[in-house]
Amino acid sequence: MNNKFSLEEEILTCQNRTETLKDYLFPFIQNKEEIDELILMLKKVKITFVKLFCAVYTFRKIKEIYCFKTFNENVSKFTINKINYELIQNKQLVFIVCVILAHKSFDDNFINLSIWSKISKYSKNNLFLGEYVIIKLLNFNFTPKKEEFLEVKCDFCLKFNYFEIKYEGNLLKEKLKTYFIKMFSCFGNE
């Protein structure tokens, strides 16, 4: 079995990687049917390792912040209203939005939400609302720093015995943060 990979390489190119990805996603989603649906969607968008690792980082960060806020503060005082609370509770939707944000971080010609809606089972409105809630929850810091990215990558490599081929690309795009700040400024501070 060849366990070497490049970060810019598509993940779902062979069956053993599909099984590895299912095992990798199980702690996050914890529902085999939803994972199978997610795998089909990830095949359609041809997800790469770098995008997957960024999506996983964002997903972990959301859960960490969300759990901290709900356990340490009065939920009604927290900025998440009932609709947003239900969105964050849907792990599959949150992970899909994390994948969308990862795609937007690395592709200049990113896929619009209408196409994501057709690929996934969620409406364009739910995907947009999910993006809005997640970006606001993370205070626009949804792309990992180099050290945080390496932590996610190393976790994957150690767990599944994979070895990375040297990556030369630029990880983060600062211009994207500005884009989202401008895009969501029309909603004001809630």
Q: Is 163 helix (H, G, I), strand (E, B) or coil?
A: strand
The yes-or-no verdict on residue 23 having pLDDT over 50 is yes
In sequence order, the 6+-apart residues with CB closer than 8 A to the CB of 173 are 105, 106, 143
Q: Is the dihedral of CA 64, 111, 9, 35 positive or negative?
A: positive
pLDDT tens readout for residues 46-101: 888 888 888 888 888 877 766 655 555 554 444 555 556 666 677 888 888 888 88
CATH no. for 4-177: 1.10.472
User: What pLDDT score does 86 carry?
Assistant: 65
Burial (0-12, 13-18, 19+ Cβ within 10 Å), 111: middle
pLDDT tens readout for residues 120-161: 888 888 888 888 877 777 777 777 777 887 888 888 888 888
- Ranges of each domain in the chain: 4-177
CA distance linking residue 42 with residue 44, whole number of Å:
5
In sequence order, the 6+-apart residues with CB closer than 8 A to the CB of 159 are 24
Q: What's the gap between Cα 154 and its chain centre?
A: 17
Query: Which pTM does this prediction carry?
Result: 0.73
CA distance linking residue 51 with residue 104, whole number of Å:
9
